Amino acid sequence: MSRRDQIRMSDDEVRAFLDEQRTVTCATNGLRGWPHLMPLWYVRRDDELWAWTYAKSQKARNLERDARATLQVEAGTEYHLLRGVMFETDVEIVRDGTAVEALGAELFTRYGGGSIDDATRAMVAAQAPKRIGLRFVERSRVSWDHRKLGGTY
């Protein structure tokens, strides 16, 4: 068995990891050919990651031109503790206002500790018309959890 096979996370491990982490780095293809990397908050819906962003953001413009993104979620501060997952994805842009507002509420529920108050809900409703939803459809995945090696390399 290769080291790559030893450190690969199972589907259940990936789901649990994504649920405990808070930020995904999203790489889109910039106009001049350079990767454009930005952090996003996300929610996991079944096995898909979803996020929202301003419709006029650079990442939105990049995705309108080329609907592909690479996502990475990582954790660990020392080599033997590193773990993460990288997805190559196709991105569906969601513009329906009701769907975008619901996604915003879902994001703020996740990052607000499980519920949102009326003021936050009103803020989400006010932001939703300026935003788009991003549905990341996985095409391939690489994962790693160096803790599985037990400190040996």
pLDDT tens digits, residue range 3-57?
Answer: 778 899 999 999 999 999 999 999 999 999 999 999 999 999 999 999 999 999 9
Q: For 29-40, give the DSSP string.
A: E-TTS-EEEEEE
The boundaries of the domain holding residue 7 are 3-95+132-149
pLDDT tens digits, residue range 41-99?
Answer: 999 999 999 999 999 999 999 999 999 999 999 999 999 999 999 999 999 999 999 99
pTM of the shown model: 0.93
Which residues, listed in sequence order, are joined to residue 29 by a DSSP beta bridge? 35
Count the residues in the chain: 153
Whether residue 102 is contained in a domain is answered as no
User: What is the domain-level CATH number for residue 15?
Assistant: 2.30.110.10
Total tally of structural domains belonging to the chain: 1
Whether residue 111 is contained in a domain is answered as no
